[in-house]
Amino acid sequence: MHTFRRSAALLALTVGSVASLPALAADELHYNQISLRAEVSQEVARDLMIVTLYTEEQNTDPAKLAADVSTTMNKALAQAKEVKDITLRQGSRNSYPIYDTKGQKITGWRERAELRLESSDFAALSKLTGELLTDLKMGGMDFAIATPTRKASEDALLKEAVTAFKSRAQLATDALGGKSYKIVNLNLNSNGYPQPYMRGPMMMKAAGMDSAPVTPEVEAGTSQVSMTADGAIEVLMQ
């Protein structure tokens, strides 16, 4: 009986020792590992201009109101289509009732429709905007980084971020007295590509009935964008 207990204890010890080997191997995999981070950035021009125009009218007859709004928007669309390199997008269109002072009886209807214009040709879009402001109102002016520009910037920053990470990895290896290093993992993330930058309606002014259309002066500016490289290296000692 005692012999069986000693054998069982010896077996348990042996199994426990074998089970601990993977844990030791895992510890060895993380030996001399260092986490590093490198970041690079650049100024990128906002090269896409986005203008939102709208018309808003009211009438006691909802059918007449809808027809008037459609006529105004169709005229603007036809005028905008004559200008090259401008993307047209119809925005939201909503109508809602107008109530009396007691809030019980509908006295009329109000409707609003939007037109969104996008272009990298700032001069052409500015001129068109000034012309359309004789019939429409300014909802806002935005500036963004166009998709092709963003992709080109990301590609360039990715290469720079990897180079910066490798340079930092070599510095860390030299500081530890290692002979070389290998990259265990590496993550690349971009940030700073903004949503369109809103400029309020007060930046624009429609032309008067007897004056020539006003061409708005615009300055899109730039955005600082960056790419980070986060990862870990394993330093191989001499």
**Domain assignment of residue 70, given as a range:** 48-144+195-221
CB of 51 closer than 8 Å to CB of 141: yes
CA–CA gap between residue 103 and residue 209 (Å, rounded): 36
Closest CA to 86 of 56, 111, 121: 121
For range 71-77, the mean pLDDT? 96
Q: How many helices (H) and strands (E) does the chain have?
A: 4, 8
pTM for this model (two decimals): 0.68
| Residue 153 falls inside a structural domain | no
Contacts of 201 (CB under 8 A, 6+ apart): 137, 138, 139, 140
Closest CA to 88 of 111, 129, 112, 119: 119
| Residue 12 falls inside a structural domain | no
Q: What is the pLDDT of residue 217?
A: 60
| Residue 56 falls inside a structural domain | yes
31 vs 113: which has the higher pLDDT: 113
| Residue 185 falls inside a structural domain | no
| Residue 68 falls inside a structural domain | yes
Q: How many other C-beta atoms are found inside a 10 Å radius of the C-beta of residue 175?
A: 10
CB of 36 closer than 8 Å to CB of 232: yes
For range 221-226, the mean pLDDT? 87
27 vs 227: which has the higher pLDDT: 227
CA–CA gap between residue 38 and residue 40 (Å, rounded): 7
- pLDDT higher than 80, residue 206: no
Closest CA to 36 of 161, 154, 160, 157: 161
| Residue 25 falls inside a structural domain | no
How do residues 177-190 score in pLDDT, each as one tens digit?
999 999 999 999 98
- Residue length, the chain? 238
| Residue 73 falls inside a structural domain | yes
Give the pLDDT band (50/70/90) at residue 204.
very low
- pLDDT higher than 50, residue 3: no
How do residues 108-164 score in pLDDT, each as one tens digit?
999 999 999 999 999 999 999 999 999 999 999 989 999 999 999 999 999 999 999
| Residue 4 falls inside a structural domain | no
Number of domains in the chain: 1
CA–CA gap between residue 161 and residue 192 (Å, rounded): 15
Q: What is the pLDDT of residue 208?
A: 43
CB of 96 closer than 8 Å to CB of 109: yes
- pLDDT higher than 90, residue 41: yes
Q: What is the pLDDT of residue 13?
A: 36
| The pair of three-digit structure tokens given for residue 189, joined into one six-digit string | 């993330």
Amino acid residing at 132: L
How do residues 52-72 score in pLDDT, each as one tens digit?
999 999 999 999 999 999 999
CA–CA gap between residue 223 and residue 91 (Å, rounded): 26
Least confident among 20-24, 45-49, 92-96, 186-190:
20-24
Q: What is the pLDDT of residue 34?
A: 93
> What is the domain-level CATH number for residue 132?
3.30.70
